[in-house]
Structure formats: C-alpha cells, structure tokens
Amino acid sequence: MVPDPRAPLGPRAHRVLNGPTPILVDADAAGRPRAVRRIGRDGRADWPAPRRVERVRDRWRIDDEWWRERPIARLYYALLLEDGTFLTVYRDLAAGDLAPDDPDGQPAGDAPAADSRPTEGAWFEQREPATTLSS
Amino acid sequence: MTWRMAHTACRAVRPSSWPDVRVACVWLPALPLRVAVLRRPEWDGRPLVLAGGGTSGGTGTAGDPRSVLFCSPEAARDGVRPGLPLREVRALCPDAIIVRPDPVRVAAARDALLDRLRRVSPSVEPADEDLFLDLRGLAGVYHDDVDRLERAIRVAVPAALHPQVGLAHGKATAAIAARRAPPVGRTIIRAGESVAFLAPLSARYLPLTPEEIGWLERLGLRTIGDLARLPFSAVQAQLGTPGAYAWRLAHGHDDAPIVPRFRERSARARFRPDDPLASVDAIGAAVDRLVGAAFAAPTLAGHAARRARLRALLTDGTSWEQTWTFKDALANPAVARRALGAKLALPNGLPPAPVEELALELLDLGGETARQPGLLTARARQLGQIVEVARHLAARYGHVPLYRAVEVEPWSRIPERRWALAPIES
C-alpha cells in the first residue's frame, strides 16, 4: 500500500478546488437519482424542497487509485433537474454500504429494491472544473 | 589692485550702491517659535521650547514629542538644547514655555511670506529656515540702491520673525552671511570677498552633517579655511560629494542655481463648524462636505487630483496636518470620499483633539485619465494589482486570504485533482 505523501493542509498550503460536497439524493430501486436536495455548509438543506430529476443526461464510472488505502470508485450522473438546472452528482461506491459489485452500479445481491430514502454521505455533488480560471 | 582701490572708493562714496551679488538670503531662525510669538506677543523675549511631534513638511514639527526640537536663544542660555527630554527642561529653565507643534499656522506663515517676497523678487526659493531671492536683473528696479532692497524685504517679513538678511554671489555664502548678519541691517559678501569671509568661520557653517563636522573637528579642522587648505581629492575621497561641494564653497565656488517654487494649482475648501468636531462621524461628515465643495471649484473642472492635504486647527491651540498621495487620481467626489475615508480610518489617521476648523486642499492636478484596459496587458495588470492588495493585507492582518487557481494534475480523471487554490504570495 502506497502511503499518501501529501503534507497536512496548513494556512499556506494549497486548497482543493471543485471538491465534492455532500448532497441529499432520493434514488430509485436501481440506484438512479429521482430527486436531489443541496446541503448547506451548516449541514442543513440548502434548497427548501427536493428538486425532481427531469432526465439523466449521462452516466459513467471512475475507478482509480486502487493501490491506495482508500481507493476511488465513483458512479457519476449528469442530471437535468425540473427547474432546468444541470447538476453532476456521484455515488461513492467505495464508501461501503451502498457500494455495488457490478460496474453499472446496480445494487449488489439482495439489497432492498424499493429503497428510495434520501441517502446522505454516499452521494456527492461534483462542481464543474474551473477551466475558465487560469493562473 | 587698481580695481580693488577703485571699488573701495566707490563704496566709500555710495555705501548703499548695488553690490556685485546674485542672491539675497532671508534667514528665519526658529520660525515655528516666532510664529507662536506672533499669536502671543507676550511670549517675546521669554524662553521658548518647541516640542517635537506632529507632521513634517518643512514646518519644523517632526521628531520625538517627548523631547526638544529646538529652542529660543533665551532658553539656550539656560542650557536647553535640541534633543533634551522635555522633563529635564523645567529643571534647567523653570520659566520655559513649552510650545506644541503648530504645522498649519507655520505653513500658512511661510506661504504668506513667500507671496510677499515674490513682490520683492519674482524668483524665490524656500529651503528650511532660509528664503533665497534671485537678485539678477533687479538693480534697476531698486535704482541701484541696496537699502531700498533691504527695506522691501523688511516690509515683506514681519520684524517679529527676527529675519536676518545676507547678500552674496551664491546661495550657500548668502545663507552663511545671513547668519552672521545683525538683527537690523544686512551682511554683504561680494563675489571676490567670499573666500576671505568664509576662511575664519567655523566649519559648522558648512552644509555637512553633524557626523561629518565631527570628523573634521577630530582632525583639528575647525575653520572653513582649514578645510580649504586640504587637497580637493583628499576631501572628496573622505566626504564624497558633500565634501567636494564644501571644498568648492570654501574656495569661493558657489554657483548652485535658485530653484523657485511657484504657487501650485490646487482646489481648496474650508469648513468652520459652530461647535468643535469631536467625533469620528462628525469629522467624516465634514470631510465629505469639503470634498463636495472642493470638486465644485472651477479649478478642478475636467481635472483629477493625485494628492490631498487635510489641515485642522484644534481646540487645544495646536494644529494637525496630513498629506496623502494616492495611486489612482481622485477624479470625482465619490472616489475622493472613499479614498480619504480609508486614510482617516487608519490608526492615528484622525486629529488628536477636537477640530475647530478643517481645510482640504487637492493638489497635483492633472488631466482626467481614461480607465480603458489594454487588450493584452489588462490581465497582467490585474494580477499586479491583486498581488499589491495581498501585500497590504499581509502587512495589516498577517495572512493573505487570497488564492489563485493553479493546474495541478490536468490529466487526472478525478475533477478535484486537476486544479488547486494556491495562496497569492505577497
């Protein structure tokens, strides 16, 4: 196992840009988002009500850093919400309880098919990279 | 020798005839103290001590507020000297009157003197305690009579300021002559007489620093003549440019030109409230009002100011003055209010006592500059401005909460690994 060589974050260290932020997602039995609700920095819901997912525009999976102690396994969804907002969210498959085995992110084994509770912690919103910013 | 005898004879016949001089120096010893005497005539002849502090700017009010900046001859006779702690003044001179810095009134007195002396000579240069008048071409104006010139100077300068007048071929010699002049009358050093005049005088009259004078005295060089006898190269090697200038002066070469200071174009506004302004908000409101009045002046039409001077007369009888130069010109009242507000909000940015009168002067007037950024240079300039802001924040708060986005792993499939926020180095 290769240890993480990064130094601890300090006031003068580099900070993460476009880091993922937790989001509340209401998923259907297949694990596809049906509604989402943003969470503020204080942990409370940022949006007054969940917003329905109008369409899943795209879906892809990333597996990386499998040699590290905490490998990365994410199932991304590019969503179009009912109010026209574009949102990119992912489910952290390496987080544990919701991590499926199959590469399409289907629930593993005999997982409850009708689990549609909003799940927190395993879902994250991924902001678009700031490609327009340059040094 | 023939010329010399003829010249002497001429002087004997017409002692006040126009001498072969180019410069008149009016020396005003201890001007801040004499300005205080103008306001309080009963202090004339009393031992006066000026405390340091306040602001500088040719008004003689810099230095440590707890020590003596300079003193009158009456106080000096009792042992008071510049640099002495104020607490020791009473022990040496129980009758001493401590005069607090009053930069506004002193500056006003200097400006008034300059205006009046410009009627004596059109070219006047102020320098510390001296005012130099260019006399070239003025012989006809004063009918070749130096007495008329001296009378004109003494009419322009109040006698209470104790002016002393020296005339010579050059500025430095005229300044030394003024210091050797009697209270009434003048000292005239003609072009050929300067070497003989300067030779027996103390080297302390030379325009050298106290350290350089001390070095000369340690070598036994106590008079200007002693210095003149040294080789030029030796003096220049030891004292550099000031030494070379002093050596040339000792040899009668005194040809520094007079650099006249003309009245600067400015927009002024003055406000005298019914009650003294004692709160920060009241002073801020008064400054806002002054800014509006200054920008309404025709002088500022189509112009912007790069410098602002705020002067205040305080209830304790002293005054306060601050001058700020701004990086960006003050082109309209809103910008000026914001810039001045920021300056007043700094530590020690406000007058130390309630304000009786406030005056604002906007200086360095120039054309209004456009702010259209260049197509290719705008970004570099923005970054330069941001770095400058970061430097100010670091100086004030100790850390810089400003970051810039930098590429870290642009090839990474993980979005948050591609970019990072790096602190802006100040």
pLDDT of A133 strictly over 60 = no
How far apart, in whole angstroms, are the C-alpha atoms of residue B82 and residue B72?
Answer: 10
Contacts of residue A18 in chain B, CB cutoff 8 Å?
415-416, 418-419
Together in a domain, B275 and B363: yes
Average pLDDT over residues A97-108: 40
Together in a domain, B251 and B273: no
Residue B230: per-residue pLDDT? 92
Residue A87: per-residue pLDDT? 92
CATH number at residue B41: 3.40.1170.60
User: Considering the domain boundaries, does residue B130 fall inside one?
Assistant: no
Residue A30: per-residue pLDDT? 86
User: Considering the domain boundaries, does residue B128 fall inside one?
Assistant: no
Residue B116: per-residue pLDDT? 92
The count of CB pairs under 8 A between chains A and B is: 49
Contact A134 B405 (CB under 8 A): yes
How far apart, in whole angstroms, are the C-alpha atoms of residue B102 and residue B30?
Answer: 13
Contacts of residue A17 in chain B, CB cutoff 8 Å?
405, 416, 419-421
Together in a domain, B97 and B68: yes
Q: Which residue of A has its CA nearest to B414?
A: A62
Residue A10: per-residue pLDDT? 52
How far apart, in whole angstroms, are the C-alpha atoms of residue B35 and residue B107?
Answer: 10
User: Considering the domain boundaries, does residue B25 fall inside one?
Assistant: no
How far apart, in whole angstroms, are the C-alpha atoms of residue A87 and residue B319?
Answer: 64
How far apart, in whole angstroms, are the C-alpha atoms of residue B41 and residue B39?
Answer: 6
Chain B nearest C-alpha distance from A41 (Å): 18
How far apart, in whole angstroms, are the C-alpha atoms of residue B117 and residue B189?
Answer: 21
Provide the chain A residues 46-85 that lie in CB contact (below 8 A) with chain B.
62, 64, 72
**Interface mutation target, options A4, A6, A18, A128, chain B, most CBs of B under 10 Å:** A18
Residue B62 CB neighbour total at 10 angstroms: 15
Closest Cβ opposite residue A129 in set B403, B415, B423: B415
Average pLDDT along chain A = 73
Contact A14 B422 (CB under 8 A): yes
How far apart, in whole angstroms, are the C-alpha atoms of residue B148 and residue B140?
Answer: 11
Q: Do B23 and B174 touch, CB atoms closer than 8 A?
A: yes
Distances from the Cα of B74 to the Cα of A38, B38, B44, B71, B184, angstroms = 82, 17, 10, 8, 19
User: Considering the domain boundaries, does residue B16 fall inside one?
Assistant: no
Q: What is the pLDDT of residues B255-271, one digit of tens each?
A: 888 888 877 788 889 89
Residue A130: per-residue pLDDT? 41
Chain B nearest C-alpha distance from A7 (Å): 14
Residue A99 CB neighbour total at 10 angstroms: 16
CATH number at residue B230: 1.10.150.20
Domain end residue (candidates: B64, B89, B107): B107
Residue A1: per-residue pLDDT? 61
Domain count, chain B: 4
Residue B171: per-residue pLDDT? 92
The pTM assigned to this predicted structure is 0.58
Domain end residue (candidates: B262, B285, B301): B262
DSSP annotation of B202: B
**β-bridge mates for residue B124, sequence order:** B133
User: Considering the domain boundaries, does residue B258 fall inside one?
Assistant: yes
Which has the closest alpha carbon to B235: B274, B201, B208, B195?
B208
Domain range for B406 is: 378-423
Dihedrals φ, ψ of B405, to 5°? Answer: -80, 130
Long-range contacts of B153-159 (CB under 8 A, 24+ apart): B153/B24, B153/B26, B153/B117, B153/B120, B156/B113, B156/B116, B156/B117, B156/B119, B156/B120, B157/B26, B157/B28, B157/B113, B157/B116, B157/B117, B158/B38
Task: Classify each residue of B94-111 as buried b or exposed e, where b means 16 or more C-beta atoms within 10 Å of its C-beta.
Answer: eebbebbbbbbbbbbbbe
Contact B405 A135 (CB under 8 A): yes
How far apart, in whole angstroms, are the C-alpha atoms of residue B361 and residue A128?
Answer: 52
Residue B128: per-residue pLDDT? 83
User: Considering the domain boundaries, does residue B274 fall inside one?
Assistant: yes
Q: What is the pLDDT of residues B347-370, one digit of tens each?
A: 777 888 889 899 999 998 887 665
Q: Do A122 and A112 touch, CB atoms closer than 8 A?
A: no
Chain A nearest C-alpha distance from B51 (Å): 46
Contact A14 B405 (CB under 8 A): no
Together in a domain, B234 and B282: no
Contact A62 B414 (CB under 8 A): yes
CB of B384 less than 8 A from some CB of A? no
Which has the closest alpha carbon to B32: B128, B118, B154, B169?
B128
Which has the closest alpha carbon to A77: A124, A39, A21, A28?
A124
Together in a domain, B390 and B361: no
pLDDT of A9 strictly over 70 = no
Start-to-end C-alpha separation, chain A:
34
Domain end residue (candidates: B367, B389, B414): B367
Residue B387: per-residue pLDDT? 84
Together in a domain, B221 and B308: no
CATH number at residue B281: 3.30.1490.100
B132 Cβ contact list (under 8 Å, min separation 6):
B23, B24, B25, B124, B125, B126, B171, B174, B175, B258
Residue A54: per-residue pLDDT? 94
Residue B118 CB neighbour total at 10 angstroms: 17
Q: Which residue of A has its CA nearest to B415?
A: A129
Residue type, B301: A
How far apart, in whole angstroms, are the C-alpha atoms of residue A130 and residue B417?
Answer: 12
Where helices occur in B163-279 by DSSP H, the ranges are 171-179, 194-198, 210-218, 224-228, 232-250
Residue B391: per-residue pLDDT? 86
pLDDT under 70: residue ranges of chain B:
1-16, 53-63, 368-376, 426
* Whether the predicted interface score ipTM is above 0.85: no
Distances from the Cα of B145 to the Cα of B25, B136, B138, B394, angstroms = 17, 14, 10, 64
Chain A nearest C-alpha distance from B392 (Å): 17
The three-state (H, E, C) secondary structure of B132-157, written as one string: EEECCCCCCCCCCEHHHHHHHHHHHC
Residue B62: per-residue pLDDT? 57
Contact B420 A20 (CB under 8 A): no
User: Considering the domain boundaries, does residue B248 fall inside one?
Assistant: yes
Output the six-digit token pair for B290. 């002054």
Closest Cβ opposite residue B420 in set A16, A62, A126: A16
Contacts of residue B420 in chain A, CB cutoff 8 Å?
14-17
Output the six-digit token pair for B129. 């305690």
User: Considering the domain boundaries, does residue B352 fall inside one?
Assistant: yes
Q: Would you list the DSSP string of A16-42?
A: ESS--EEEEEEE-TTS-EEEEEEB-TT
Q: Do B70 and B81 touch, CB atoms closer than 8 A?
A: no
Output the six-digit token pair for A43. 């942990």
**Interface mutation target, options A14, A16, A17, chain B, most CBs of B under 10 Å:** A17
Q: Which residue of B has its CA nearest to A129?
A: B415
CB of A132 less than 8 A from some CB of B? no
Together in a domain, B308 and B253: no
pLDDT of A55 strictly over 90 = yes
What is the SS3 assignment for B35?
helix
